[in-house]
């Protein structure tokens, strides 16, 4: 049996194996190398592994120890965002230790989670597992979330609870906003600017759309508020607009892209339908062609009950109250599989997605401690025995 590398050596190898995912095809890479490393380490520990193909070069890994229903999922994504090596002080694909930190692309978001989860589990593997531990490694979280979507569609894995180890400085995160990105294309008719009757101006029609969207935004913000978020209302941002070509031509085509961040309790599909219901009549009145489409699959808002058992246990173990965050995760997709889901992991989101990303070393031992106690609680203790305990 191959010896398991040390935690630091595992992270060194993961960082040295680039796995950028990006909606720009020229930057997008396979995550197969990372999946194969994790697969070899976890199978050497006795996990049963399944590699799930998602698309060419992209894979999820499901590694299970123990069997039966219930259990705990420890989930992370294998991909990173792209980086600008010229803005780094060291090679982003080399783990560098400096100032009590490990630098490298993915060190905190979130390749570092896997060696930590493995280290949390390792000393427990001698014991009998009442319920399974599943280490889940997904593809393309940073671009399309196609890995998590594929799991939700396939109906696996099934467990009672799931922890997603995104960098939260070990704070339990029980809810986040969702993401929708929408495109809107209006097509009118070109013509000479000297006579408006010769065409139909798509930019003027867009002007009416913008007014409708801003009106819709203020209505949404009146309807929905949650003070636990730093930005307590749903947001709608007009991101970019392109239209027309020349001052003396009637603008024939105008395109807008905007993003919407719904709060928990708001449904992406319902929002899309409502937007369409409001915008289409504006286009009809203006006499332009109307094309309204999502720019990607979107991420639903995520919320676990504030008083759920997993939230309470993680508050106790971390010593920090559960919070809300602005960034989206794979949480809603794991929740669709029926698992109580919480986001909690080592490292800070402040260091993610930017040059000189690092994992502070003082996060590692506490992270191992929290995960180990969660594994003990959910996998080693029989839940029926727990229920029979006298009060």
Residues with active-site annotation: 79, 141
CB of 141 to Zn ion, least distance (A): 6
Segment interacting with Zn ion, rule: CB under 5 A, options 92-100, 109-117, 186-194, 275-283: 109-117
* Contact characters 142-171, Zn ion, x per CB under 5 A: ------------------------x-----
Our CA dihedral for 174, 232, 299, 114, rounded to 10 degrees, sits at -40
Can you tell me the distance from the alpha carbon of 231 to that of 213, in angstroms, rounded to the nearest whole number? 19
Phi, then psi, of 47 in degrees rounded to 5: -75, 145
Can you tell me the distance from the alpha carbon of 235 to that of 275, in angstroms, rounded to the nearest whole number? 14
Cβ 186 vs Cβ 288: under 8 Å: yes
- If the CB atoms of residues 32 and 109 are measured against Zn ion, the closer one turns out to be 109
Segment interacting with Zn ion, rule: CB under 5 A, options 64-72, 107-115, 275-283, 370-378: 107-115
- If the CB atoms of residues 76 and 234 are measured against Zn ion, the closer one turns out to be 76
Can you tell me the distance from the alpha carbon of 243 to that of 112, in angstroms, rounded to the nearest whole number? 44
Q: Contacting Zn ion (CB under 5 A), which of 35, 110, 163, 283?
A: 110
CB of 106 to Zn ion, least distance (A): 9
CB of 15 to Zn ion, least distance (A): 14
CB of 234 to Zn ion, least distance (A): 22
Size of residue set near Zn ion by CB under 5 A: 3
Cβ 370 vs Cβ 163: under 8 Å: no
Q: Is 371 exposed, middle or buried (0-12, 13-18, 19+ CB in 10 A)?
A: buried
Residues sharing a CB contact under 8 Å with residue 16, sequence separation 6 or more, in sequence order: 93, 94, 95
| Sheet containing 180-187, strands listed edge to edge, beginning at the edge strand earlier in sequence | 235-243, 253-261, 180-187, 289-294
- If the CB atoms of residues 148 and 256 are measured against Zn ion, the closer one turns out to be 148
Please report where in the chains the tokens 């490990």 appear, as a residue. 102
CB of 299 to Zn ion, least distance (A): 12
According to DSSP, the residues that pair with 254 across neighbouring strands are: 186, 243
Site residues for Zn ion, 174-233, by CB under 5 A, read none
What is the Cα 299 distance to its own chain's centre?
Answer: 8
- If the CB atoms of residues 109 and 340 are measured against Zn ion, the closer one turns out to be 109
Please report where in the chains the tokens 């070069």 appear, as a residue. 57
Q: Contacting Zn ion (CB under 5 A), which of 32, 39, 79, 109?
A: 109
Cβ 136 vs Cβ 73: under 8 Å: yes
CB of 188 to Zn ion, least distance (A): 42
- If the CB atoms of residues 106 and 234 are measured against Zn ion, the closer one turns out to be 106
- If the CB atoms of residues 101 and 217 are measured against Zn ion, the closer one turns out to be 101
Segment interacting with Zn ion, rule: CB under 5 A, options 105-113, 183-191, 316-324, 367-375: 105-113
Segment interacting with Zn ion, rule: CB under 5 A, options 108-116, 202-210, 316-324, 374-382: 108-116
Please report where in the chains the tokens 């040059």 appear, as a residue. 355
- Interface residue list for Zn ion (CB under 5 A): 109-110, 166
């Amino acid at each position: 049996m191959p010896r398991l590398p040390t935690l630091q050596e595992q992270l060194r190898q993961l960082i040295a194996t680039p796995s950028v995912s990006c909606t720009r095809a020229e930057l997008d890479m396979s995550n197969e190398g990372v999946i194969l490393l994790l697969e070899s380490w976890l199978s050497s520990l006795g996990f049963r592994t399944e590699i799930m193909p998602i698309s060419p070069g992209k894979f999820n890994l499901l590694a299970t120890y123990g069997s039966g229903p219930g259990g705990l999922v420890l989930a992370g994504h294998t991909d990173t965002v792209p980086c600008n090596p010229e803005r780094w002080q060291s090679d982003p694909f080399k783990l560098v230790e400096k100032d009590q930190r490990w630098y490298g692309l993915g060190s905190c978001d979130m390749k570092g989670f896997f060696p930590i989860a493995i280290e949390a589990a390792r000393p427990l593997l001698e014991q009998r597992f009442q319920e399974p531990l599943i280490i889940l490694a997904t593809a393309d979280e940073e671009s399309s979330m196609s890995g998590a979507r594929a799991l939700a569609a396939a109906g696996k894995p099934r467990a009672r609870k799931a922890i997603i180890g995104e960098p939260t400085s070990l704070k339990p995160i029980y809810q986040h906003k969702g993401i929708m990105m929408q495109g809107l294309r209006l097509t009118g008719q070109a013509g000479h600017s000297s006579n408006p009757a010769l065409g139909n101006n798509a930019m003027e029609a867009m002007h009416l759309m913008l007014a409708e969207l801003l009106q819709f935004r203020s209505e949404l913000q009146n309807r929905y508020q949650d003070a636990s978020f730093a930005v307590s209302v749903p947001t709608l941002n007009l991101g970019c607009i392109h239209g027309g070509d020349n001052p003396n031509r009637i603008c024939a085509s105008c395109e807008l892209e905007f993003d919407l961040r719904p709060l928990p309790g708001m449904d992406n599909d319902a929002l899309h339908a409502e937007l369409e219901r409001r915008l289409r009549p504006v286009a009809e009145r203006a006499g332009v062609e109307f094309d309204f489409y999502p720019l990607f699959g979107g991420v639903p808002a995520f919320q676990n009950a504030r008083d759920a058992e997993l939230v309470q246990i993680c508050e106790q173990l971390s010593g920090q109250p559960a919070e809300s965050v602005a960034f989206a995760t794979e949480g809603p997709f794991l929740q669709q599989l029926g698992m109580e889901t919480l986001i909690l992991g080592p490292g800070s989101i402040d260091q993610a997605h930017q040059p000189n990303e690092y994992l502070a070393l003082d996060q590692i031992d506490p992270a191992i401690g929290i995960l180990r106690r969660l594994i003990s609680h959910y996998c080693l203790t029989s839940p029926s025995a727990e229920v029979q305990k006298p009060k």
